[in-house]
Each structure stands twice: as C-alpha cells, then as structure tokens.
Amino acid sequence: MSNRIAFLGCGSMNEAILSGLLGSGTDPADVVATVRRAERAAELAERHHGITAIAGDEEPDNNRQAAKGSGVVILGVKPVGIADLAREISASLSPKTIVVSVAAAVTLAQLEAALPAGQPVIRTMPNTPAKLGRGVVSVSAGSNCSPEQLQRAKDIFKAAGTVVEVPEEQVDAVSAISGSGPAYAFYLAEAMAAAGVELGLEHDLALLLARETVAGAGFMLAEPGADPSALRISVSSPNGTTERAIATFNERGLPAIIAAGARAAADRAAEISRQLG
Ligand SMILES: NC(=O)C1=CN([C@@H]2O[C@H](COP(=O)(O)OP(=O)(O)OC[C@H]3O[C@@H](n4cnc5c(N)ncnc54)[C@H](O)[C@@H]3O)[C@@H](O)[C@H]2O)C=CC1
Ligand SMILES: O=C(O)[C@@H]1CCC=N1
C-alpha cells in the first residue's frame, strides 16, 4: 500500500497531526495537504519543508489529486463539509485507501454512505496537542476496515500522541473531554491570569505565571502513572492556602460546572449529527 498520507482540509487540527507525524520522523515527501487558499498552502509548505500543499483556488481538483495514490486520506474540514469532500474524492480512491475522519459529530454511517461501497473508514477524535506529539486520539473502525488497516491508522496517530480505541457511541463523550479539553485548560489559564490581575499583578506577569503553571502542571500530569488527585493533595498543605482555594471552588460548584460544560459539548455533537442527517 502507498505510504503517502493526504491531509484534506489542513487547518488547525489536521496541521497539528501533520506536525506530530513529521516530528516523529515521517518523510515529508510522503505527505500531501490540501487547503482552500494559496496563501495558506504557501504557509504550510514553508512551515513543513518537503511536503506538498495544494490550494483549491489554484487547482480546483486539489482534493482528488491528493487522494489519488494515497494509502491514507485524513478528512479535516468542518463537519458540515465532510460528506461533500468524501463524495468529491470517491472516484480517486483505491478500494484499499483508508479514509480517516477527524470531524466531530460525523458518524461512520454518514461517512460510509458518502464513499464507495466497501471503502475502509475510521472515525477519530484527536486534539491539538498532537502538534507536539502529546495529543490523545480515539479511533473507531467502520464495518469495512480490517484489523491491519485499523493498525495502520493507529500507527500514524501514535506519532501524534496516545491512541485509544473506543466504540463509536463514546466518541461524543471523548470529544467533550479530550477533543475540546485543551480549550478548557487554556480557559483555566485565562481565568487564572485575570485573577492575578485582580490581585494586583501586572497583566504580563499574571499571564506568564498562569501559562507556566498550567504548562508545568501538564508536564507533571504527563509523567507515567500520574494521579491528578495525589498531585493536587501534594500542593495542598493542611489548613493552608491551596486547601482554602480548592474548598472555595467546591463550595461554588466548579466540578458540577465542568461536568455541565462537557455535557453541553457532547449534546452539541449529537445535535450536529442529527442536523447532518
Ligand atoms: N480544532 C480542534 O481542536 C479539533 C477539531 N476537530 C475537527 O477537525 C475538523 C477541522 O477543524 P479545525 O481544524 O478546527 O478547522 P479549520 O477551519 O482550522 O480547518 C479546516 C480547513 O479545511 C480547509 N477547507 C475547507 N473546505 C475545504 C475543501 N473543500 N478542500 C480543501 N480544504 C478545505 C479550510 O480552508 C481550513 O484550512 C472539524 O471537523 C472538527 O470537528 C476535532 C478535534 C479537535
Ligand atoms: O469545537 C469543535 O467543534 C471541535 C471538535 C472538538 C474540538 N473542537
């Protein structure tokens, strides 16, 4: 099977995966990316030397060109555009080409219906730390995907981080925790920086403290076997300052607020799936 991997719709998410892949030693000559605009294609080609980036405003059949001869194609446009993109490339796929979607809310059934009968399809839910090889991605195989084809996709995504296999019914929950989750961590950093300013720190200093703290805590969480509760307790002296802060978060219902946000994200994914029919 061809080693070439095509990233169709190379925006934030697909570029993050592409970066992770190149960072782990994939030959850029085996990577092709498509986008809408020529400026974005030039930016990608400059940032990732040796890949091929094709813009639709210069070459309207860019997606078909990229799909043709690729062993794996990764669909990375917004959910509403996935089925059209799948139909557009259908005639350019070999029956063995593995079609991977990173889109929230687009089901395996919707993907399979837009592709030639029998096409192997995998639905994934990645996240943007893939850019640093620190993403986490779920994979769910469609009915035509062989164990070897699923393994090939897992091997690609391993380069971008941790791979978990989940039944498709769980993808909306995965999306609500790890797909969207980096935004929750960034939101926490924003709120901490704002709190620092409220306590009298200069904005730049407050932002530096918040960024380095969330990043540093992230590194600690990334150590093998890390336990968030144990790590939190190790910062919290009995009757000390941290304990007072955490008690205030609990009194104000922060865990329930986070659960409600995650529920809202999962519900929105289900709503989009229904809208896409
Ligand atoms: N951004 C994130 O953190 C995550 C995103 N996703 C999924 O990834 C997908 C893309 O999201 P983002 O990367 O955030 O969006 P984005 O807007 O940054 O990327 C989409 C890219 O596709 C290009 N594009 C649109 N139509 C095209 C076409 N017909 N042919 C070629 N290129 C085309 C756009 O120009 C853009 O560069 C979505 O389906 C989303 O659900 C999944 C997990 C996390
Ligand atoms: O916000 C979104 O719709 C995408 C899916 C998961 C993360 N970002």
Strand (E) or helix (H) holding 31? strand 31-35
In this prediction, residue 235 carries a pLDDT of: 97
- Note every long-range contact of 220-223, with CB atoms under 8 Å and residues 24 or more positions apart, other chains counting: 222/134
Name residues whose C-beta falls within 8 Å of residue 122's C-beta, 6 or more positions apart in sequence: 98, 99, 100, 101, 139, 140, 141, 142, 145, 149, 150, 153
**Span 126-149, mean pLDDT?**
97
Residue 16 has pLDDT above 80, yes or no: yes
pLDDT tens digits for range 233-244: 999 999 999 999
Query: Whole-prediction pTM value?
Result: 0.97
- The SS3 of residue 145 is coil
Residue 128 has pLDDT above 80, yes or no: yes
81 lines ligand 1 (CB under 6 A): yes
Domain covering 181-270, topology: ProC C-terminal domain-like fold (1.10.3730)
Ligand 1 centre to CA of 127 (Å) is: 12
Do β-strands 121-125 and 135-141 pair in parallel, antiparallel, or remain unpaired?
antiparallel
State the span(s) of the chain assigned CATH 1.10.3730.10.
181-270
Residue 188 in tokens? 């926490």
State the average pLDDT for the chain.
97
pLDDT tens digits for range 153-210: 999 999 999 999 999 999 999 999 999 999 999 999 999 999 999 999 999 999 999 9
CA dihedral defined by 95, 151, 270, 277, rounded to 10 degrees? 10
pLDDT tens digits for range 31-71: 999 999 999 999 999 999 999 999 999 999 999 999 999 99
Relative to the CA of 105, which ligand 1 atom is closest? 41
In this prediction, residue 1 carries a pLDDT of: 73
5-171 belongs to CATH 3.40.50.720: yes
State the span(s) of the chain assigned CATH 3.40.50.720.
5-171
Do β-strands 161-165 and 135-141 pair in parallel, antiparallel, or remain unpaired?
parallel
Residue 212 has pLDDT above 90, yes or no: yes
Distance CA 108, CA 121 (A): 7
88 lines ligand 1 (CB under 6 A): no
